[in-house]
Amino acid sequence: MSAWTREAVEALGPTTNVPTVAAIFGVNPETVYAAIRRNEWTATRVLHLGRTIKLPTLDVIRLLYAPEAEVSAPVTAVPAPCHHAENMQVTDSKPHSQCGCSPAHSVPFQPLRRVT
């Protein structure tokens, strides 16, 4: 078992795969896959990208180095939850708490046309 340093984990990039996270935690990868399947994996967020499972390395760093969990460079593991340009059905009247957008930036909902 090799020792994983903080620098080595940061060098993995924004996300990594299950076998790598299992190696960092010193467990069998099948144990991690089974916990994810049973929705019992709480150590990190789980990103399902088709059939691929990715885990944010920032979550691993925060778990292992809790008091000093700030990463030297900002790492964005997942895109922001608000995508007004792609989602034409955003009509909230209040700003979103995480992205700070407001209805002035959103496009009004266009009802579907009935085909007769």
Nearest CA among 77, 67, 97 for reference residue 21: 77
At 22, the pLDDT band (50, 70, 90 cuts) reads very high
pLDDT at 17: 97
Q: Tell me, what amino acid is at 59?
A: D
State the Cα–Cα distance between residues 15 and 78, nearest whole angstrom: 9
pLDDT band at 66 (very low <50, low <70, confident <90, very high): confident
| pLDDT > 80? residue 83 | no
Report the chain's mean pLDDT, rounded to a whole number: 74
> Which phi and psi angles does 48 have, rounded to 5°?
-90, 110
Q: Looking at the whole model, is its pTM more than 0.75?
A: no
- Residue 15 CA: distances (Å) to CA of 6, 61, 74, 92: 14, 11, 13, 31
Residue bearing tokens 């266009």: 110
Would you state the pLDDT for residue 94? Answer: 47
